[in-house]
Amino acid sequence: MNELKNRGVEDILIACVDGLTGFSSAIASAFPKAEIQQCIIHQIRNTTRYVSYKDIKPLMADLKKVYKANSEEAALIELDSFEERWKGKYPQIAVSWKSNWSNLATYFKYPQEIRTLIYTTNSIEAFNRQLRKVTKSRSVFPTDESLLKLLYLSMRDITKKWTGRRRGWGVIHSQLEIYFSDRIPD
């Protein structure tokens, strides 16, 4: 995070993180005004890792009521309901969600358009996966520079596909300007 600051990043409005230990506090120390949103998809994957196959569909239907709720209050009610139904079989799921709630519930502060933008880190992971695919076939690079060149060229090819605008970006940008009016430059 300090390297980002040294490279000129002055502020981060909302940081979407995957739950890596210490990452949220590193962001908070470098960018104290940044909102932290933990990736909902990562939380789901981590909490359903040991769920029996026969239970996964009904459990996910109940869990979806939590993260798809219209407000944080409604989500907390649904989380209590989820815990009541599943605490006998899977007590750790609700505990995990409650212990991470401060970072999982950030997106409830915002309208639906911003929520869909920040609730998951999957687009970042897809980019990283494409870079790994390029380097995977080569186990040794003669120099660090050769690796950097390969990653640069791969990144250029990957980003060529990013020509379109984000659907609803005008609305999202307007909403971000409302929520962060004092932090978004004109």
Gap between the Cα atoms of 104 and 107, Å rounded: 7
Distant-in-sequence, close-in-space partners of 55: CB < 8 Å, separation ≥ 6: 89, 90
pLDDT tens digits, 22-64: 898 999 999 999 999 999 999 999 999 999 999 999 999 999 9
Among all chains, which residue has been given the structure tokens 């186990």? Answer: 139
Is 0.85 topped by the overall pTM? no
Share of the chain above pLDDT 90, in %: 59
Tokens coding 89: 């079989």
Gap between the Cα atoms of 81 and 66, Å rounded: 9
Closest to 14 in 3D by CA, of 129, 115, 125, 124: 115
Among all chains, which residue has been given the structure tokens 């239907």? Answer: 61
- Which parts of the chain are beta strand (E)? 14-17, 35-38
Contact (CB, 8 A) for 108 and 72: yes
Question: 140, exposed or middle or buried, with CB in 10 Å at 0-12, 13-18, 19+?
Answer: exposed
CB atoms within 10 A of CB 126: 10
In single-letter form, the type of residue at position 64 comes to: K
CB atoms within 10 A of CB 43: 22
Q: Does residue 107 carry a pLDDT above 80?
A: yes
Among all chains, which residue has been given the structure tokens 């050769």? Answer: 146
pLDDT tens digits, 148-184: 998 999 898 888 877 777 788 889 999 999 999 999 8
How much is the pLDDT for 19? 78
How much is the pLDDT for 141? 84
Distance of CA 94 to the CA centre of its chain: 19
